[in-house]
């Protein structure tokens, strides 16, 4: 359709995707064959089925299994090379990549090796693919406040070029955003942007906590905010954008079906919304597909989709030159 052609040609930024979750099927198959005892299928069709998630906790267990296959700095560079190639295909000029250093360390990568790999991968993304990358170092809520402190230690101590923010992923059930306030306070004091996940699988309370306790400047997902008009007003008034990932929400069953997705409610309330893929390799999506599902399911046309792209460019922690090029 003409909308598909418009989206494909549109220069875009992508503000929410995870390093390990972005690995293509081919990349993960190669890693799985290299670590045949890792519990990840080495057959393509089986891997596809492995990526069928019953619910959000199931998704996280699969994610952690794949994470453990990424054991060297060279693996990280391979992931970034593949990711940048995919982004270039979709006309994505700038992306902020969520990297979970503590999980990489648990898979056997030293922090020095990780920092060096990110530097190499970032250069390669720019020179080979024409894609700029920024880093969000995200804590995994499963690993508690101590894991978040370790994440901030890495972000501040190594501060690889392109570091823009501190994040918080993993579960929201049984663990609260507010528990991570001290780590976020330290990161923000060191000049990092606060961009936690919140309100992915739960309601407005955790989004409020992200805003008030973690000083969130942007929020990963945040769709739980749609249940609270006062919160939506707050996000709109303070210009706190949501990185909405509709296909992720379907795949993890965070929403039951696309008709039930709160994106139109958020947009109607004036909340700044941008689109992202979250874990494109695992969710079988790409950024164009996220735009197109909004066209197909919500009737958004070229003006609305262009506004979503501009919201992303305004919310990106990239150079002004790059932002102006995309705007
Ligand atoms: N880690 C990887 N993908 C994630 C998601 N969608 N939510 C929380 N943590 C994640
Ligand atoms: Zn995410």
Q: Does the pLDDT of residue 164 top 90, yes or no? A: yes
Query: Which residues have C-beta under 5 Å from ligand 2, the single-atom ion?
Result: 278
Tens digit of each residue's pLDDT (9 = 90 or more) over 138-151: 999 999 999 999 99
What is the average pLDDT across 105-125?
Answer: 98
3-class secondary structure, 134: strand
CB 155 within 8 A of CB 192: yes
83 three-state secondary structure: helix
According to the model, what pLDDT value does residue 326 have? Answer: 86
Span 172-186, average pLDDT = 98
Active-site positions read 200
Q: Please, where are the H alpha helices in 141-278? A: 144-158, 181-189, 204-212, 229-238, 246-251, 263-268
Report the pLDDT averaged over residues 159-176. Answer: 98
* Per-residue model confidence as pLDDT tens digits over 227-269: 999 999 999 999 999 999 999 999 999 999 999 999 999 999 9
HEC string for 147-174: HHHHHHHHHHHHCCCCEEEEEEECCCCC
> Model's pTM, two decimal places?
0.98
Instruction: CATH number for 2-326: choose from 3.10.580.10, 3.40.50.300, 2.60.40.2220, 3.20.20.140.
Output: 3.20.20.140
DSSP 8-state class, residue 141: G
Provide the pLDDT for residue 57: 98
Mutate to test the pocket of ligand 1, among 278, 281, 283 (most ligand atoms within 8 A of CB): 278
Spacing, Cα 1 to ligand 1 middle (Å)? 32
Question: What's the residue count for the chain?
Answer: 327
- pLDDT-derived band at 1 (thresholds 50, 70, 90) equals confident
Q: What is the mean pLDDT of residues 150-164?
A: 98
> What residues flank ligand 1, with Cβ below 6 Å?
18, 21, 63, 169-170, 197, 200, 248, 278-279
CA–CA distances in Å: residue 250 to residues 50, 142, 253, 266: 16, 22, 5, 17
Whole-number mean pLDDT of the chain? 98
For residue 182, the CA-to-ligand 1 centroid distance in Å is: 21
Q: What ipTM score was computed for the predicted complex, to two decimals?
A: 0.97
Which of 239, 245, 166 minimizes the C-alpha distance to 199?
245
Structure tokens of 112?
A: 């020095």
The CA distance from 125 to 139, in Å, is 24
pLDDT of residue 327: 84
The CA–CA distances, whole Å, from 222 to 165, 207, 258 equal 17, 6, 16
**Domain layout of the chain by residue ranges:** 2-326
Percent of the chain with pLDDT over 70: 100
């Amino acid at each position: 359709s003409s909308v598909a052609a418009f989206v494909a040609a549109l220069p875009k930024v992508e503000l929410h995707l995870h390093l390990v979750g972005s690995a293509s099927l081919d990349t993960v198959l190669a890693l799985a064959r290299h670590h045949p005892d890792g519990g990840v299928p080495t057959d393509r069709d089986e891997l596809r089925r492995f990526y069928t998630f019953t619910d959000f906790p199931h998704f996280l267990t699969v994610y952690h299994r794949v994470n453990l296959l990424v054991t060297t700095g060279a693996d990280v560079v391979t992931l970034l090379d593949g990711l940048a190639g995919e982004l270039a295909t979709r006309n994505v000029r700038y992306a902020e990549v969520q990297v979970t250093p503590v999980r990489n360390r648990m898979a056997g990568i030293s922090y020095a090796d990780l920092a060096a790999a990110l530097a190499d991968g970032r250069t390669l993304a720019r020179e080979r693919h024409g894609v700029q990358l920024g880093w969000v170092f995200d804590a995994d809520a499963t690993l508690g406040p101590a894991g978040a402190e370790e994440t901030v230690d890495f972000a501040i101590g190594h501060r690889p070029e392109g570091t823009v923010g501190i994040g918080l992923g993993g579960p929201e059930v049984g663990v609260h955003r507010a528990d991570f306030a001290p780590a976020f306070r330290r990161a923000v004091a060191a000049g990092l942007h606060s961009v936690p996940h919140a309100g992915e699988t739960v309601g407005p309370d955790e989004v409020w906590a992200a805003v008030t306790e973690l000083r969130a400047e942007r929020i990963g997902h945040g769709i739980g905010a749609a249940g609270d008009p006062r919160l939506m007003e707050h996000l709109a008034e303070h210009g706190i954008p949501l990185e909405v990932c509709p296909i992720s929400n379907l795949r993890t069953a965070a929403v039951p079906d696309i008709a039930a997705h709160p994106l139109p409610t958020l947009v109607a309330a004036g909340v700044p919304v941008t689109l992202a893929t979250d874990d494109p390799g695992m969710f079988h999506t790409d950024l164009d597909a996220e735009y197109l599902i909004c066209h197909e399911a919500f009737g958004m046309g070229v003006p609305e989709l262009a506004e979503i792209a501009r919201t992303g460019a305004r919310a990106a922690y990239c150079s002004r030159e790059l932002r102006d090029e995309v705007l």
